[in-house]
Structure 1
Amino acid sequence: MSLIATVHIAHADLALAPTIRECPDVRIRVMPQSATDPETGLFFFHVENGGQALEAAIEHDHTVAEWTRVAESDSGSVYRLEHAPETILLSPKTLELGGLMREATSDGTGWSVRLQFDDREALSRLWKHCKDEGIAFELQRLFRDQSWVDAEMTALTGPQLDALVTAYEAGYFEEPRTSSLEELADRLDISPTAVGGRIRRGTAALIETTLAER
């Protein structure tokens, strides 16, 4: 069994922290193949709702040494960034402790990261590291997964996971239902349409990775 932790981290010198504060409505997601290879010095980010304001913020962001927009699509843009030397990155310490940063997404005030470790001891050591470095560290969710392999096969995103768990806890899947999409939307602070989409996509991902292949 592996340990999965969803954590909120914040610090003025974390990667893209100034840009996140300047553009709180922009969703920035670290592309995982670069987040786990800090030695390259290059990181890739997928951005939703970006634009000129975002690029102006990146241009003045002290955590960014160089940046390039490398791709665009209907879902957003991909940027390649080289961080400045003083930039704080959590992924190297996570790797040093034998863990994996599976997901990192901006939330307007900092980063929401999904971490995977063998045990609580490694997570506690990461918390102590953040405390020593002055990094705000808030544990939001902690649970066990079947294995490293099964965890990687599960294609759920963080928002889909939150929507499904919230729906389950609120009785949305019971017969009769004890909660509605509108009530779930209030809990998650998003629209009912967005809740329904996350539940559908999350359910499809679970079926694909747990039932369809078998």
Structure 2
Amino acid sequence: MSLVAVVDLAHPDLALTPTIRSTDASIQVVSHTATDPETGMFFFLVEADSFPEFEAALEADHTVSESMLVAEASTTRIYRLGHTPGTKLVSPPVTEMGGLMLEAESTSDGWSVRMQLPDRETLGALWEHCENEGIQFELGHIYSLDDFSLDGVGLTDAQHDALIMAYEAGYFEEPRGTSLEELADELDISPTAVGGRIRRGTARLIERTLLDEE
């Protein structure tokens, strides 16, 4: 039976890890581009308070071979990036094993990814691949595909933590009991990143509950 797994990954040579660790930017893979290992180009949605700082980090990032700005708004941009030969990527082996990368979002140290895999044996094979590559592999949640569809789950751990913290601190109350800045201090990320996690997490919950009901 197919399953959905949420996994945290970390390694100095994972794609964009140097940029992730040196900036407060929130980075998300534009998911459909992460399933084609042949192109060598990937698209990333970036939320940042300072894009000059982010682009300077890209220039110094040893995992990035080339970058191009594709679209931009005030606090959000989309970049197309190529990776150097030594960059470690998880999406190609996931695809080769018959899996699908559903979502990948930056954490403070690396990536939180949500994957659909054929079975637990495939998950074990992916864990073994990461161990052989020296990639830290921390399994957060695992669901059967039926449970995933029915229960309305599917948040990354980062989105889950941001939403729970925001709710408990009164962010959704009127007047608000906390601010993005205060939440950012608690999570040790930028206010822009917190806002992005709350928006994407809320959108995911709506997709998996209200829209499914309709």
Q: What is the correspondence of 1:22-101 to structure 2 with a 5 Å cutoff?
A: 22-23=22-23, 25-49=24-48, 50-74=50-74, 76-101=76-101
Q: Larger Cα Rg: Structure 1 or Structure 2? A: 1
**CA 1:73–1:138 in structure 2 vs 1: closer, same or farther (change >3 Å)?**
same
Opposite residue 211 of structure 1, the aligned amino acid is: E
Q: Is the 8 A contact 1:155 1:205 kept in 2?
A: no
Q: Secondary structure at the match of 2:14?
A: coil
The Cα shift of 1:145 comes to 2.2
The Cα shift of 1:208 comes to 3.8
C-alpha separation between the residues in 2 aligned to 1:144 and 1:46?
A: 28
Deviations 1:132-172 (A, max 9, x none): 11111111111222289x59xx79653697269969xxxxx
C-alpha separation between the residues in 1 aligned to 2:105 and 2:95?
A: 18
The Cα shift of 1:197 comes to 6.5
TM-score (norm 1): 0.77
C-alpha separation between the residues in 1 aligned to 2:108 and 2:14?
A: 13
Q: Secondary structure at the match of 1:81?
A: strand
Q: Is the 8 A contact 2:3 2:117 kept in 1?
A: yes
Q: Secondary structure at the match of 2:61?
A: coil
The Cα shift of 1:115 comes to 1.1
Identity %: 41
Q: Secondary structure at the match of 1:85?
A: coil
Q: Is the 8 A contact 1:160 1:198 kept in 2?
A: no
Partner of 1:181: 168
Q: Is the 8 A contact 2:6 2:157 kept in 1?
A: no
Deviations 1:69-99 (A, max 9, x none): 1110245000000111111110111011111
Opposite residue 182 of structure 1, the aligned amino acid is: A
Partner of 2:130: 130
Q: Secondary structure at the match of 1:35?
A: helix
Partner of 2:14: 14
The Cα shift of 1:124 comes to 0.4
TM-score (norm 2): 0.77
C-alpha separation between the residues in 2 aligned to 1:93 and 1:48?
A: 27
C-alpha separation between the residues in 2 aligned to 1:62 and 1:196?
A: 30
The Cα shift of 1:108 comes to 1.6
Partner of 1:210: 212
C-alpha separation between the residues in 2 aligned to 1:54 and 1:68?
A: 13
Q: Secondary structure at the match of 1:15?
A: coil
Q: Is the 8 A contact 1:101 1:113 kept in 2?
A: yes
Partner of 1:177: none
Which of 155, 158, 177 aligns to 2:156? It is 158
C-alpha separation between the residues in 1 aligned to 2:125 and 2:68?
A: 35
**CA 1:83–1:161 in structure 2 vs 1: closer, same or farther (change >3 Å)?**
closer
C-alpha separation between the residues in 2 aligned to 1:141 and 1:187?
A: 24
Partner of 1:102: 102
**CA 1:187–1:87 in structure 2 vs 1: closer, same or farther (change >3 Å)?**
same
- Alpha-carbon RMSD: 3.5
The Cα shift of 1:101 comes to 1.0
Unaligned runs of at least 5 residues, structure 1: 168-179
